[in-house]
Amino acid sequence: MREILGRRRKLSLHRKGRTALLNAALTYAEQWKWRVVPGVGYDRRGAWRTAGAQPCACPRANCPVPGVHPLDPGLLAATRDPRMVRWWWTRRPDAPVVLATGDRVSAASLPAVAGSRALDAIEQLGFRLGPVAATPTRYLFLVAPYSLDELGELLDSQDWVPTSLRYHGDGGYIALPPSSSSAGQLRWVRPPTVGTGETAPWLPRIGTLVEALVQAGCTAPDGGRLTY
């Protein structure tokens, strides 16, 4: 039976006097208590720019996640402290917002075609979804934190698990809107909402989504490279 949702307050990422990225980072960190850190961003000189690609500002020659990974500071510096968030994004206002997963929020991601199919299948089954973000090439489903043991048991029950399905748990990270990735702008396919009396968006358990994610992922493998 489809769960009937109460009235929700939609996320607002724009306030006068702040950039959208700073405002989003403050919402995630200060209000929702999600740990964030600035991404490395892109090489604005365009020295290696090719066919619409944005070169990563890190020294890695073939970076697998251009621009949307931590570098300096590293992932261990991810914080909920609004003072640190303001300091980082005041000095680097264009930095992508990188979420450290595994603490209060985790994620699973699929190629965009498979992610769209999974989204439709989950909603048709009547399961309640949490926030879902997307780039032109990938969908990211935000879920409640899960352990490796829990994930292992869930995947062991599947006949086959596609390599295109990725898990972002303890020690991992994802970029969040309104950041830009190498493939384009991140956007909310299902925006975060905070219910009355709640302090952060509700997140589903990975177990309620994994079968739909696996089945959709089997239809659209994307090889071994993690592309955002």
pLDDT tens by residue, 46-68: 443 444 556 888 888 888 888 89
Q: How far, in whole angstroms, is CA 5 from its chain's centroid?
A: 23
* 228 part of a folded domain: no
Distances (CA, A) of 114 to 12, 61, 180, 209: 28, 29, 21, 13
* Tens of pLDDT, residues 95-119: 999 999 999 999 999 999 999 999 9
The 8-class DSSP code of residue 129 comes to: P
| Overall number of domains in the chain | 1
The pTM score is 0.84
CA distance 53 to 181: 10
CA distance 13 to 121: 29
* 143 part of a folded domain: yes
* 196 part of a folded domain: yes
* 5 part of a folded domain: no
Per-block mean pLDDT, blocks of 10 residues, the chain (228 long): 41 55 97 97 58 74 86 95 97 95 94 91 91 94 90 78 85 94 89 91 92 80 51
What percentage of the chain's residues is helix, strand, coil (to nearest 5)?
A: 25, 20, 55
* 115 part of a folded domain: yes
Hey, is 21 helix, strand or coil?
helix
* 4 part of a folded domain: no
Residue 36's domain spans which residues?
17-218
Residue 228: what pLDDT?
A: 53
CA distance 88 to 104: 22
* 88 part of a folded domain: yes
* 35 part of a folded domain: yes
Listed in sequence order, the residues at least 6 apart from 28 whose beta carbon sits closer than 8 Å to its beta carbon are: 34, 36, 97, 99, 176
Phi, psi of 77, rounded to the nearest 5 degrees: -85, -5
